[in-house]
Structure 1
């Protein structure tokens, strides 16, 4: 199907797909799938082509993120010999050759593009990224929007108003709460590089890129590069002023390797004016060439997608023969090796394992034995049982009670457990033996008032049977991210205990080695890629609820989840013991499932009137600022428009220091405006204030009321247990751990969090817990003595460093000591401290040097942590939690240096996180034992928030403080006392 050529213009949307990136991504996804789907009957490797075709079909049919393209280009690398090799012959010189089975699939990818009605775009001497950059700039100039389909960081330099990147790769996870896809805009670029997109090239020029063998400047990583570019403006300014840099090694490297930096910039900077062989007018997006696609797919033997396209287009498959040109001779591709069948024996776990020498009966050998046995048992989704009667369910319940453990998972209508309907549940008793119990699947007619699907179990009676398992103390329940299922069943008045959670078991043995979602764990440890959620429920506009999935398909998906979870548990229970992490799991991880589920279900009240009033105040203040901005600018313009703002600041007013993006638009990032404000310029300062106010309004005062649960009338945040390397919890939907409290406007938001009538909120906050942990682990006598005696720690530090008495100390001196105290924990640099205190970097560097001289134990601790991480690949908290840093072995010096700084901070932050976890695990029982009815509602890093009846507040405060202050005991007696400040009030801010 062809369309008349037409250049993009206003209102058009251009999709530029990084085809070369997708080739490799599809290949590495395919090797984690069943090998039967990766080869044609003549043994031609086709797994990557199949996944590529699925993505291509979806993009043509649906677009991405609800937007369809008017122009679409699939762009490939023509060869590795681009013009960059002429600049730097070693460019990409370290890249290994492509996998043998991928080589014959390269031309098939291009054949697929043609078969689907598109034209593959490639050009000699230029990389796909250069073609994408050129098409992007041309499209933006014409007024069109652009979506670049890729996750390649090199393309992030193109991000600007009207240009985003789309990464579909993150959506192949089935972990609850994960997002199926993500957009990459200016905020995501800043998060990755620490600079705005227009400065990415300069950062990459300094940091280099080991993947493409871009040299960069030795000793400078991305973080340092961002600091330097933000400080000096651009690469050339930095190199011209390199002699001003105080760090000797950094200064020498920049001066000595300035040429490498400039070469690196030419290597990473994308060409935006390629003389294109494929005109942009030819990128007009066609409809799908159904006949051509079917002929190609038939030749590839991709039956599922072939049938789908035929059904959608109304074509008869028998009328379209396979494309004869795609019958490739055997000599043109690598034949996939046959996989020998494993000989099996039975070990003590009852699992079949490949035969081999009988290793010594060590825990590590048991782990390998269990893993081999699990991998040897195939996944057969068509053998899972659908439970359609209470009698069949009773039989499974009886077997679970007899066995004493069962894997369990729920299927629901929502990721919000407190508002989700239970659609069904799955059980697994042994690897390969699982079932699904459908409860509330609806047929299409039910969407308009019809009936439910046939063959289901009565929900009320099924939950009664399920309760016999879930509440039986003699049966261990096994789940993955079990907090979600606990909340779901809590809405059914069912309590889940006792239990094991495979996500948390993975977290204690592999924290820092990737995420802990079920799909990734299955691929990583079992070599099996489970059915993706999108395969059963679709995505985008075609997304359906799980209650609309046919029961047979739902059984394959849901029962497989339970099967995978059981296998992971069998593996992890062996690993937890073998790696000595049982105590960590049982005291710091597992108890928090119930604790956090209870906190989330309780929620916290908000006063909508306060939020509405604050929204009005913020709106008025923003309007007032906007009027002042217009007056200073001498004209009215859209303050929220980066283009109009840039034209005013750097065009009309001629403020020096402005930089333009690739499209010629002035850059107006927050950093640029804050730098100008720091120079005393009023207009930028007011714009910064306006942005802060409007963000508070949109993110908090306007958004928080939308999170109120209609049944409870409260806001219920969701906590993630396994989201950070250090053990810190994270909060989302909404994030209540990130409400700003450093500004007056931010603190006002906390006044909207209120206690129920007749109650008060209690805020209990650890005082300087990370400094206390530092004093303990680094054994600093001065700090230990000060904490023991209750001395003002920051005043003491100032006295030690600056030789001034504590009595009558200048507040500014104390503030500087406080900034250093907390900054040292996070590895603050002289640059960062200088910015924080608004002092010269030389002065900030002198402060840090003096600090280490006065407290030498801190430097010893830092050196010890770096050495431990290099030797072991991990560091530990004071309780034994391991935090893995595999990148400590990186060959990139700057990356290693960054990881070393993480290794210094992690034991401190992680130990503090462990302490509050221990307190939370004991808190509910302590309150009940004291006869108190206070309820723990929130955790915000070092703070716990409770709701208590007014008449019980005075009795509750000491109990809360006692539990928190004694949380480290009896496992460990800290060298310094923990101190908790606990106060009560009618709203959160007053109690804080």
Structure 2
């Protein structure tokens, strides 16, 4: 065969994704077209053949191929499984009707005179990547035909991507066929093709079980990669990330992200068994092809091939081997490849699927575990039909529906609102469900088309929102009806704006969080997929994207009803699955004491908000701008030229290229690394320029993230800032704050503390800050049972000075501050699994010396090492660790074959018991604060929670009475569930602003 050359046009077809696409498209067609007379399923093969003929005859997107490669996955046991055994481990078995069609696809390729390409140990994507690079290097034009986004990383000069998954014309979701070049990939991913693996490493892929980083979607991932350049630079500079939740998540999942990048990166250099030049499009042998098509009983395409190639099909016999009574047919019906001595890998271990409830044999098991299993099985098998939902557009219908809710005692509720911010949101519609499949939608706020044209009037066929709220109120306020929702807090906040309290509720997001924190996503879409086998109508599909995006109150009522009622229905079904699991897995107490009661507490805090001094922030912003300008001038003078201080590349070229400073290292992209720790090391060595760069970065971050941004969050009605708290955001139970994030304001530097000065008490009030002192160290002494540390806390000794005395033999009295500082770094570092390298950097000492400190620490406090070893062993055996209150935090990767990933999970598990227990304690305190204040007739309001600190707004005349109440509740929070031997200490102060109170 002739070598690949310029002018050749290479089609690389991802046969594996094509097969599934053809199957699911065939399921939308009449059943009679999807099976042969003997029952052999053939619908996917038929559509596959139609597309192959199109490629050979007409090409695609205006290109006709000279070479056509149809590439399949031979097995899932590829080199990626060696790197990560869980890769694709959660993929469901293929549909039963598709299994016998796999070998038929290969027969179809051969019938067209082509070679089905597959290779053991590699996926189709890898082979496509190798072919694409070979062809592009030879100057050929390459079109990758696939719906797999992983292959978009291969787009480059000469290589484009054809997205064939364009839907069915006339149906929702249809879009014209697209050929993606570099700009198209950037539009889809937000980054160029070569950085697609970095983005995918962050977002992961649940379909392939690529872990990624929890909570990071494609938009956030692309922003991070564009900002930091690549994955390694991002992970090296996580300390610069302003959002604490995001920073913590990235730090905790750094190794998982690195592993994910290995799993998603395609290599041009694999050796392919079938040479690309062998895949030239041949002259089609019409008679051979017709023999195959007639054996499959494909009438329409048989006639088309007969007409195109002027061959009388009646004179061609069906392939006897594949005909209904042929030698290969029995094997195909059994799901066995007739060309193989073994079953396909996808079916070899697949158990027979139960078809009826009787087959499940669960009815007789009345234990909590049996009920949970029965509910899970029933939910999986039940169909969800959006067409069955009703729209309630008159009061009588609503009354009848609500009466049935009263009778049934259960009501699932989902609000559709005009804004994601519950403080400004208006109700557009209310979805209600009272039994699986029995759901309705009550429209109340849909607009009549575009507001500018319609004047903002309401669309017809709706009920007045006040009337609906009034009719709902008795149901929401009664304890006799359980209200169910997913992430109920925003809805509770919206309803509170209408004067409604929700009594007796369950939140399935929080139940899922209690049951599966660390091993499952808790979003409604993910839960529906995992536990119901159902794909929900996506929010993006409802409102559209880009220019086509429509506000929720302008959505057609029928479409909104399908989306919202489905959410209420799915939520109710999931509640029926999850609720018995709480009992079966002994997690009811955790949910009912730590999670559910906190929802109204946080809603009340969010509605209260906190006042800020905008004038002070404006002055600070001006001061920061002046500081930045001054530092910019100093940097320009030190560097001998001006450059973009926000450009890591320009900075690296100055530091390590022009100035030849030591310690330079390059990232995977070839650029100099300028992450914070690199600059800190240079500054510690006495180099002034890196020190000034760090100062500029710090001030720039304070200005952009806080002094400039905070005033934009002030609510027009309350004139206060209202943050939003997430309960199910971290594995350990810590809350996170967003819009704005008030948990990440830096307070170690004077500039950072100035930001807290702008959070102020209104006239006649004070802000009170109540902060747990060294709570995680105290819990370490308690849980690890370290007598020396425990006694020190009981005696009120300076714990860091005591540690320094124990380790270095220095008297506590008049101890040098640098010695205490070293002990403090070790004390806190041990909690987070600090390494000798990390401690060396923190203390600016040699790694050997740091290692000696850590070794000596464990020798002086042996209980801590025992605690760590016991925690790791328990987590390896059970897959989770637990707080002192029983909250489970799962770390399924603790037994990973990858050493770095395994070590990361071990460190996380050790820290989780401490951080999680601390988080539980402050949750218990928050839940008890309001009843204690009410009992003391005090009117203080709890405004903020920042890790181990609570912030209150208190009338001047009540400060002295409030402080001891808050302090007592917080210090006694573990009781009566747990009686700690190590006392908790809370420092509480009042002042006019947050900084002075802290």
- Report the Cα distance in structure 1 between the residues aligned to 2:920 and 2:639, rounded to whole angstroms: 52
CA contact (8 A) 2:233 2:667 kept: no
Equivalent in the alignment of 1:884: 890
The alpha-carbon distance between structure 1 residues 18 and 121, as it changes in their structure 2 partners (threshold 3 A), is: closer
Equivalent in the alignment of 1:960: 966
CA contact (8 A) 1:443 1:453 kept: yes
Equivalent in the alignment of 1:612: 618
CA contact (8 A) 2:737 2:743 kept: yes
- CA deviation after TM superposition for structure 1 residue 372, in Å: 2.0
- CA deviation after TM superposition for structure 1 residue 649, in Å: 3.0
Equivalent in the alignment of 1:261: none
CA contact (8 A) 1:44 1:336 kept: no
- Report the Cα distance in structure 2 between the residues aligned to 1:463 and 1:757, rounded to whole angstroms: 36
- CA deviation after TM superposition for structure 1 residue 514, in Å: 1.7
The reply on whether 1:812 has 2:818 as its aligned counterpart is yes
CA contact (8 A) 1:659 1:667 kept: yes
Superposed, which structure 2 residues align to 1:190-339 within 5 Å? Answer: 195=233
Q: CA deviation digits over 1:119-172, x for unaligned, max 9? A: x98652849989946838999xxxx97955888999776899xx9999797999
- CA deviation after TM superposition for structure 1 residue 375, in Å: 2.8
Matched residue of 1:444: which SS? coil
The reply on whether 1:927 has 2:933 as its aligned counterpart is yes
Equivalent in the alignment of 1:388: 393
The reply on whether 1:858 has 2:864 as its aligned counterpart is yes
Superposed, which structure 2 residues align to 1:771-920 within 5 Å? Answer: 771-920=777-926
Equivalent in the alignment of 2:172: none
The alpha-carbon distance between structure 1 residues 928 and 19, as it changes in their structure 2 partners (threshold 3 A), is: farther
**What TM-score do the two structures reach when normalised by structure 1?**
0.74
Equivalent in the alignment of 1:521: 527
The reply on whether 1:455 has 2:461 as its aligned counterpart is yes
CA contact (8 A) 1:883 1:906 kept: yes
- CA deviation after TM superposition for structure 1 residue 630, in Å: 0.9
The alpha-carbon distance between structure 1 residues 838 and 27, as it changes in their structure 2 partners (threshold 3 A), is: farther
CA contact (8 A) 1:798 1:814 kept: yes
Q: Of the candidates 644, 652, 656, which is equivalent to residue 650 of structure 2?
A: 644
The alpha-carbon distance between structure 1 residues 667 and 38, as it changes in their structure 2 partners (threshold 3 A), is: farther
**Bigger mean CA deviation after superposition, 87-96 or 643-652:** 87-96
The reply on whether 1:766 has 2:787 as its aligned counterpart is no
Equivalent in the alignment of 1:363: 368
Q: Of the candidates 491, 507, 511, which is equivalent to residue 505 of structure 1?
A: 511
CA contact (8 A) 1:536 1:557 kept: yes
The alpha-carbon distance between structure 1 residues 340 and 832, as it changes in their structure 2 partners (threshold 3 A), is: closer
- Report the Cα distance in structure 1 between the residues aligned to 2:12 and 2:568, rounded to whole angstroms: 37
- Report the Cα distance in structure 2 between the residues aligned to 1:791 and 1:813, rounded to whole angstroms: 16
The reply on whether 1:414 has 2:419 as its aligned counterpart is yes
Q: Of the candidates 493, 498, 503, which is equivalent to residue 499 of structure 2?
A: 493
Equivalent in the alignment of 1:479: 485
- Report the Cα distance in structure 2 between the residues aligned to 1:809 and 1:197, rounded to whole angstroms: 37
- CA deviation after TM superposition for structure 1 residue 368, in Å: 1.0
Q: Of the candidates 576, 582, 587, which is equivalent to residue 581 of structure 1?
A: 587
- CA deviation after TM superposition for structure 1 residue 562, in Å: 0.7
CA contact (8 A) 1:18 1:148 kept: no
CA contact (8 A) 1:755 1:947 kept: yes
Q: CA deviation digits over 1:86-134, x for unaligned, max 9? A: x99999999889976596899999x9xxxxxxxx986528499899468
Q: CA deviation digits over 1:282-320, x for unaligned, max 9? A: xxxxxxxxxxxxxxxxxxxxxxxxxxxxxxxxxxxxxxx
The alpha-carbon distance between structure 1 residues 45 and 670, as it changes in their structure 2 partners (threshold 3 A), is: farther
The reply on whether 1:971 has 2:977 as its aligned counterpart is yes
Matched residue of 1:762: which SS? strand
Equivalent in the alignment of 2:156: 135
The reply on whether 1:631 has 2:637 as its aligned counterpart is yes
- Report the Cα distance in structure 2 between the residues aligned to 1:762 and 1:152, rounded to whole angstroms: 44
CA contact (8 A) 2:733 2:919 kept: yes
The reply on whether 1:563 has 2:569 as its aligned counterpart is yes
The alpha-carbon distance between structure 1 residues 223 and 414, as it changes in their structure 2 partners (threshold 3 A), is: same
The alpha-carbon distance between structure 1 residues 131 and 223, as it changes in their structure 2 partners (threshold 3 A), is: closer
CA contact (8 A) 1:413 1:545 kept: yes
Q: CA deviation digits over 1:669-710, x for unaligned, max 9? A: 444433333332212221121112111111111111111111
Matched residue of 1:525: which SS? helix
- CA deviation after TM superposition for structure 1 residue 449, in Å: 2.8
CA contact (8 A) 1:936 1:944 kept: yes
- CA deviation after TM superposition for structure 1 residue 530, in Å: 1.4
The alpha-carbon distance between structure 1 residues 625 and 96, as it changes in their structure 2 partners (threshold 3 A), is: closer
CA contact (8 A) 1:136 1:146 kept: no
Superposed, which structure 2 residues align to 1:96-245 within 5 Å? Answer: 101=98, 124=131, 126=133, 132=153, 135=156, 147=185, 181-184=219-222, 195=233
- Report the Cα distance in structure 2 between the residues aligned to 1:601 and 1:866, rounded to whole angstroms: 41
Count of paired positions: 827
CA contact (8 A) 1:411 1:423 kept: yes
- Report the Cα distance in structure 2 between the residues aligned to 1:130 and 1:825, rounded to whole angstroms: 42
The reply on whether 1:948 has 2:944 as its aligned counterpart is no
- CA deviation after TM superposition for structure 1 residue 893, in Å: 3.2
- CA deviation after TM superposition for structure 1 residue 889, in Å: 3.0
The reply on whether 1:374 has 2:379 as its aligned counterpart is yes
CA contact (8 A) 1:78 1:124 kept: no
CA contact (8 A) 1:130 1:271 kept: no
- CA deviation after TM superposition for structure 1 residue 358, in Å: 4.7
Matched residue of 2:742: which SS? coil
- Report the Cα distance in structure 2 between the residues aligned to 1:484 and 1:611, rounded to whole angstroms: 29
- Report the Cα distance in structure 1 between the residues aligned to 2:23 and 2:610, rounded to whole angstroms: 45
- Report the Cα distance in structure 1 between the residues aligned to 2:584 and 2:437, rounded to whole angstroms: 25
Matched residue of 2:931: which SS? helix
Matched residue of 1:791: which SS? coil
- Report the Cα distance in structure 2 between the residues aligned to 1:108 and 1:447, rounded to whole angstroms: 56
Q: CA deviation digits over 1:236-269, x for unaligned, max 9? A: xxxxxxxxxxxxxxxxxxxxxxxxxxxx99x988
The alpha-carbon distance between structure 1 residues 408 and 18, as it changes in their structure 2 partners (threshold 3 A), is: farther
CA contact (8 A) 1:151 1:167 kept: no
Matched residue of 1:135: which SS? coil
- CA deviation after TM superposition for structure 1 residue 718, in Å: 0.8
- CA deviation after TM superposition for structure 1 residue 487, in Å: 0.8
Q: Of the candidates 522, 535, 543, which is equivalent to residue 541 of structure 2?
A: 535
Equivalent in the alignment of 2:403: 398
Q: CA deviation digits over 1:924-968, x for unaligned, max 9? A: 111111100000010001000000101111110000000000000
- CA deviation after TM superposition for structure 1 residue 384, in Å: 0.7
**What TM-score do the two structures reach when normalised by structure 2?**
0.73
- Report the Cα distance in structure 2 between the residues aligned to 1:486 and 1:479, rounded to whole angstroms: 10
The alignment yields a C-alpha RMSD, in angstroms, of: 5.0
- Report the Cα distance in structure 1 between the residues aligned to 2:491 and 2:445, rounded to whole angstroms: 17
Superposed, which structure 2 residues align to 1:698-777 within 5 Å? Answer: 698-777=704-783
Equivalent in the alignment of 1:348: none
- Report the Cα distance in structure 2 between the residues aligned to 1:137 and 1:617, rounded to whole angstroms: 52
Matched residue of 2:596: which SS? helix
Matched residue of 1:981: which SS? strand
Q: CA deviation digits over 1:749-772, x for unaligned, max 9? A: 111111111111100000010011
CA contact (8 A) 2:488 2:507 kept: yes
Uncovered stretches (5+) of structure 1, i.e. residues with no partner: 1-16, 54-74, 112-119, 201-220, 227-263, 279-320, 346-352
CA contact (8 A) 2:485 2:571 kept: yes
**Bigger mean CA deviation after superposition, 368-377 or 492-501:** 368-377
CA contact (8 A) 2:932 2:969 kept: yes
